[in-house]
A and B are shown apart, each in its own frame.
Chain A
């Protein structure tokens, strides 16, 4: 069965810390995505990657970076965490074919104090 695994369900960090969110998929998918979900704003795309070491900015990349050193792993990095980055972060992957859905992890609820 399809599986996208996010390393942490809940995470609490302090302002100014460098934060790493990890995501692993076991489906050999080409594309991987990071979204954040906020009440009233819905899901918004932060970054996506279409191949190893390849990345593209989404709608809200400011304050974030990503790393994809291996096909199955896509990391989201908060360079210097701020309170406005408190949110639910969701990772997803897909094959890249238009007849295939995106598969999501369970999410990481990140609180920045």
Chain B
């Protein structure tokens, strides 16, 4: 069974620092990996999707890499801002229907 792990569980950084969030998964047979953001009491917002054939995806200050053979993905957020404070979740898609297996998330606080 696919297991997804996110380390650390929580992270606090001063504004302006770069954020590095890690995600690991046990089964490399994936269709894609997705990164989401969740604000308190809200639903999930899709940030980036990396297909299994890709190595990285970029959107603005966000960059996500994927190393399928080692079962790892990293989300980089450049020049963090207080508005980046949220919980970040990674999820892997392991079947053709698009069902996702989620990590527990990393709670990020960016202090002004």
Interface residues of A (CB under 8 A from B): 4, 6, 31, 33, 40, 42-45, 48, 50, 56, 58, 90, 92, 94, 96, 98-107, 109
Q: Taking the nearest CB of chain A, how far is it from the CB of B43, in angstroms? A: 4
User: CB distance B97 to A31 under 8 Å?
Assistant: yes
Q: Bound state CA distance, A33 and B31, in angstroms? A: 17
Contact residues in B for A42 (Cβ distance below 8 Å): 89, 102-105
Residue B80 interfacial (CB < 8 Å): no
- Interface residues contributed by chain B, number (CB under 8 Å): 25
Q: Bound state CA distance, A8 and B51, in angstroms? A: 33
Contact residues in A for B97 (Cβ distance below 8 Å): 31, 48, 50, 56, 96
> Total A-B residue pairs with C-beta atoms closer than 8 Å?
64
> Helix, strand, loop or mixed for chain A's interface?
strand
Q: Bound state CA distance, A71 and B100, in angstroms? A: 21
User: CB distance A99 to B105 under 8 Å?
Assistant: no
Closest residue on chain B to residue A43 by CB atoms: B102
Residue B93 interfacial (CB < 8 Å): yes
Q: Taking the nearest CB of chain B, how far is it from the CB of A74, in angstroms? A: 14
Contact residues in A for B45 (Cβ distance below 8 Å): 104
Contact residues in B for A56 (Cβ distance below 8 Å): 97
